[in-house]
Amino acid sequence: MIYRPEIDGLRAVAVLPVILFHAGIGLFEGGFVGVDVFFVISGYLITSILIEDIVRGRFSLLRFYERRARRILPALFFVVACTIPFAILWMLPAQLRDYSQSLVAVSLFSSNFLFWMESGYFEAGADLKPLLHTWSLAIEEQFYVIFPVLLFALWKLGRRAVIWILAVIAVVSLGLAEWGWRDHPAANFFLAPGRVWELLAGSFCAFALHRRTLPGNDVAAALGLLAIGVAVFLFDDTTPFPSLYTLLPVIGVLLIILFGQQGTRVAALLSMKPIVGIGLISYSAYLWHQPMFAFARIRSLTEPSLALMLGLAVLSLILAAFSWRFVEQPFRAGPNTRLKTQSGVFAISIAGLVLIAGIGAWGHVNKGLPDRFPAHARAVLTMNTDQIARTCHFDERLPWVVPKPACFHTVPNATDTVLLLGDSHVAAISNPVVAALNASGRNVYVGSYGGCIPLPEMERVHKSTAHKCAEFVGAILTYAEEIGIDTLVLVARFPAYLHGTRFSNSEGGVEHGIRMDVRDLTGASHEGQLDLLRSKLEDLAARFNLVLVEPIPEAGWSVPELIAKRMYFEGSDDPSLSTPYAAYAARTNALLSMFSALDAGSENITIAPVHTRFCNFLTSRCTNADGKNILYLDDDHLSPAGAALIAPDIVDAVASLPSH
């Protein structure tokens, strides 16, 4: 196979946006498409080698896997080994337990399955997982377990038949990707079925260019480079992926591979020594960048600065150059390799994979080594999402059920029945609030749905079709009317739905995650989001007595984790924590004014003024932990202690309403 330096240059085009995207550089919000560029390049190069071996009659599955082991494993072993001490030193017990699981998954080339299963609503942020990026390596290796055997077996049917069969597989895979992002977005992203077509796209280039070249075409190659650039700079985390959108960068790579040969301006650009140099170390750079960024975020008490992340991005390239020169190169096939025999390659590969798996199993069995932390820090860390009441909490993975008997909390001689409805904030507070309402002589029906604004005929803009928010809300409101419930208590993260953005407390507490924009399914026109929410609340007030629970102050940082990290890293004994009231006010003032206007204009609407339980106007601070109690489970969900604070306000608000 003739060496094409522009392909190494294309690797640089792939890896740099990925690194800058994971560093949090806003300009590169679509940098994740670099992985798709890698998939196409890999499909092209590997298929080219396989075709040549099959045609020459020298195809050997063992030799193929030997080459893969030499290419992939030395740098992977080295980087993973370097992450283990930092994981033990810096990670919280739950983080280390999850990291240990990822070590086992990496050793089995199944980390994509692990991260898919960990992609639930309350799971740790992706940016805190040092080995998250190995999902793409797992997909490639899963593909290459099957593809060489399939290609060799099909070759007897003839070249044309092989291409047609692979084309059918690619079309089915693309169809699965387009279907999958709607109904199973996490599985679609992490698992191989929706990605195979990208690797096969590169394979088709290998067939097209086998023992021949196409005429170079600067226009086509430039359009290819432009397509990749458009995807990098215009896509973001709300773009369905993989899907038909993925065709843009994939076709871009195809155009460069097919028409960007030496002699074109695009090839001249991509063949520049600095660009080729980055391309040569791109695999190591890809391995290094995510652990460095993740550990920076884990070790920092607040969000790392942009300068630090850019510095780490540069450092990842420096370390990549080192590992390429002293780890990757010495084990490549050739007369100067340090491993002369195939049996030696397999023996060391198996030993390394078993060792990594063993370390991972040890960390998992020992539950993330909690004894590394002082007792008071471990006590703080018991504040976790296991205290979320999940019986009546639904999401994309747990189809909603209305009515559900276990969600009905009754007391003898109840005066009336209350519907407690909302998103995951309801799940966080339901136990103390239900107990308080029951104690006041009221029955309570509870229903919550993750990431769901509890207003009729509304939905999140960026969601899968499996997110049945509107259907759930409609069903539970209808059921409430059927059984005569006349009081509705709404608890939700309304500021996030109003603004669409996640919270930043201006003091280093920055929440990461997809946008939370909402829209009206009826198609009715509104002056803006605030007007939309107002009209929906007025509609509800025509059907129920309405208690509007003020937005619970968001923290921005995970409160238990930050306090525990201060205790561990700084030796602090202070379990208190607060955020600026100004950040809460800026995010909620317009919403609270609208609530007040509704309260003043209707006798059957009232407000539960819960934010005053946390925010002090004199100190201009909002309390996250008061020295005795941790009031939050994470960055926005209340702990049982926090929920107990606001329960009396909700009971008082319900009691103030007239009979419907």
Amino acid at 410: T
Q: Given a cut of 60, is residue 123 above it in pLDDT?
A: no
Residue ranges per domain, the chain?
5-372, 385-553+585-611+643-655
pLDDT at 501 (0 to 100): 92
pTM of the model: 0.93
Q: Given a cut of 90, is residue 555 above it in pLDDT?
A: yes
User: Looking at residues 582-604, what average pLDDT do you find?
Assistant: 95
Q: How many CB atoms lie within 10 A of CB 14?
A: 27
Residues 6+ apart with CB under 8 A from 568: 372, 373, 374, 377
- Nearest in space to 163 (alpha carbons), one of 196, 201, 134: 201
User: Looking at residues 98-103, what average pLDDT do you find?
Assistant: 97
Q: Given a cut of 60, is residue 124 above it in pLDDT?
A: no
Q: What angle do CA 510, 17, 135 make, to 5 degrees?
A: 80
pLDDT digit string (tens) for 142-192? Answer: 999 999 999 999 999 999 999 999 999 999 999 999 999 988 889 999 999
- CATH number for the region 385-553+585-611+643-655 comes to 3.40.50
Percent of the chain having pLDDT more than 70?
A: 98
pLDDT classification of 134: cutoffs 50, 70, 90: very high
pLDDT at 418 (0 to 100): 97
pLDDT at 388 (0 to 100): 81
Rounded to 5 degrees, φ, ψ at 404 are -125, 115
Rounded to 5 degrees, φ, ψ at 209 are -105, 5
Q: Given a cut of 80, is residue 469 above it in pLDDT?
A: yes
Q: Given a cut of 80, is residue 120 above it in pLDDT?
A: no
- Nearest in space to 585 (alpha carbons), one of 618, 620, 542: 620
pLDDT at 384 (0 to 100): 58
User: Looking at residues 534-554, what average pLDDT do you find?
Assistant: 96
Residue 101 to residues 37, 96, 115, 619, Cα–Cα distance (Å) = 28, 9, 10, 44
pLDDT at 121 (0 to 100): 52
pLDDT at 617 (0 to 100): 87
CB contact at 8 A, 497 and 518: yes
- Nearest in space to 629 (alpha carbons), one of 611, 618, 638, 642: 642
